[in-house]
């Protein structure tokens, strides 16, 4: 039976079950169909699209070594994608599609439409470490709190291990039937362009950056990861978001280096493993509660909160003009680089929802429109955590103080000064809330005044969230 490898969100040759099956069947063709209209509908950041474009070129060169030719086509949205794919398969005499699953609602509907037109679509799960639905409580249900999920997750890994496919062996001889090589220059999308080249491709990351992380940063991850002025994180989230690096492979690499990390939560490497488990947690939530994709609050009592949604406040937050330096510097980082440090994501999300009482959906969408690592489950989970509307969210009465957060995690203001050069001359002690100092220096106009008072905003949030 003639078959086709359909790339979707799996730009890698390691731990790629659809590719492994394609090689077993002797498949010679792979296809990627861009959907710019769908990306726009899903608020995909242009910088993330550019990262995908670069990895398509990388994937084409890697697949060529296995005798598989990759072709890139475009359709406006998923409806057109189904029609184009059906026409392509009919013309080529293809009956079998091999792909890795995408769990989001629109993607699931699209896959059902393909089955309805008579194509045999075979899917494999490859975006979590443990399969969605495999980690359940004693009642057979999804955990509503992260800590018991984590303990059950660790128990499963300890007893069953981590299944991860190796990189397939390359054939000694091959015949590639293609008219031209697919190059980066030949891949163009009808989508806004933002350069992602400051992020190396996944091959470089796996060959050069990851070994350095394992050796130099992993055991100190817990102590360093919360400080945005230093490179204490792994920086792997963009590659996980597009499927360029396998989470199973990462977890297996970690456990092989530090097998005791599965049993010892005090181990220096556990803090990083914990982040991977959080990622699994949010993806398992989406599997069990697909209505999250429709914008539902996980906590029903918060579904109809009457958010004031001050448009001017939201715009100031977006542009980094709130008058709170750690918030503003973080938002400048996002807009300038397409990425934001995780501690800062928590701070700015708390500020938007608790200090400004702006609907978390607004922040969720803004993040997706700008993040190179935008991923629905993680982004939704993070925003609902910050807004206290989600599964295992921080309680509504815990409201981040942006000033003390700044003092604790950017004590010398190194990060603030990087993105707010207008505060370069403010002393360390005053930089976290510089307004009195600037006034004393006659420089009040050089930096925005605070748009809300922290104490008053906190009291207002407590009253707002007090839902009976």
Residue (of 321, 343, 117, 317) closest to 232 by Cα position: 343
Residue (of 282, 308, 300, 277) closest to 152 by Cα position: 277
∠298-302-306 over CA atoms, to 5°? 140
Inter-axis angle of helices 376-387 and 360-370, nearest 10? 150
Burial class (CB in 10 A: 0-12, 13-18, 19+), 36: middle
Query: Which residues are tagged catalytic?
Result: 275, 278, 307, 342, 360, 383
Distances (CA, A) of 39 to 165, 242, 397: 30, 13, 36
Tokens of 234: 């792994």
| Main-chain phi, psi angles of 258, to 5 degrees | -135, 75
Residue (of 426, 308, 232, 93) closest to 416 by Cα position: 426
In sequence order, which residues have a C-beta less than 8 Å from that of residue 454 and are 6 or more positions away?
355, 401, 402, 403
Inter-axis angle of helices 105-116 and 78-92, nearest 10? 30
């Amino acid at each position: 039976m003639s078959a086709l490898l359909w790339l979707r969100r799996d730009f890698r040759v390691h731990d790629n079950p659809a590719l492994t099956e394609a090689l077993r069947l002797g498949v010679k063709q792979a296809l990627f169909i861009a959907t710019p209209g769908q990306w726009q509908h899903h608020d995909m950041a242009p910088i993330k699209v550019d990262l995908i474009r670069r990895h398509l070129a990388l994937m084409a060169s890697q697949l060529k070594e296995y005798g598989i030719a990759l072709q890139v086509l475009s359709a406006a949205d998923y409806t057109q994608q189904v029609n184009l794919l059906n026409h392509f398969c009919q013309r080529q005499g293809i009956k079998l599609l091999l792909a890795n699953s995408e769990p989001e609602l629109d993607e699931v509907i699209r896959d059902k439409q393909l089955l309805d037109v008579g194509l045999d679509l075979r899917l494999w799960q490859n975006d979590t470490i443990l399969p969605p639905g495999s980690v359940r409580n004693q009642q057979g249900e999804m955990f509503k709190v992260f800590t018991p999920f984590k303990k059950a997750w660790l128990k499963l890994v300890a007893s069953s291990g981590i299944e991860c496919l190796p990189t397939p062996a390359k054939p000694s001889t091959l015949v590639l039937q293609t008219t031209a090589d697919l190059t980066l220059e030949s891949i163009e999308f009808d989508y806004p362009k933002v350069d992602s080249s400051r992020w190396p491709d996944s091959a470089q990351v796996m060959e050069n950056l990851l070994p350095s992380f394992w050796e130099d940063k992993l055991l100190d991850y817990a102590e360093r990861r919360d400080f945005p002025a230093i490179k204490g994180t792994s920086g792997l989230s963009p590659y996980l978001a597009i499927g360029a690096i396998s989470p199973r492979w990462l977890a297996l690499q970690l456990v092989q280096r530090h097998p005791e990390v599965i049993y010892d939560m005090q181990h220096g490497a556990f803090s990083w493993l914990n982040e991977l488990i959080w990622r699994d947690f949010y993806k398992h939530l989406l599997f069990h509660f697909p209505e999250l994709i429709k914008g539902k609050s996980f906590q029903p009592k918060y579904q109809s909160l009457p958010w004031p949604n001050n448009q001017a406040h939201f715009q100031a937050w977006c542009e980094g003009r709130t008058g709170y330096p750690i918030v503003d510097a973080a938002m400048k980082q996002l807009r300038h680089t397409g990425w934001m440090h995780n501690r800062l994501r928590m701070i700015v999300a708390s500020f938007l929802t608790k200090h400004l009482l702006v609907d978390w959906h607004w922040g969720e969408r803004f993040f997706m429109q700008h993040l190179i690592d935008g991923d629905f489950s993680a982004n939704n989970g993070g925003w609902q955590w910050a807004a206290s509307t989600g599964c295992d969210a921080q309680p509504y009465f815990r409201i981040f103080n942006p000033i003390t957060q700044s003092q604790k995690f950017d004590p010398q203001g190194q990060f603030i000064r990087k993105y707010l050069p207008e505060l370069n001359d403010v002393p360390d002690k005053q930089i976290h809330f510089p307004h009195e100092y600037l006034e004393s220096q006659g420089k009040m106009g050089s930096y925005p005044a605070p748009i809300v008072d922290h104490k008053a905003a906190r009291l207002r949030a407590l009253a707002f969230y007090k839902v009976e």
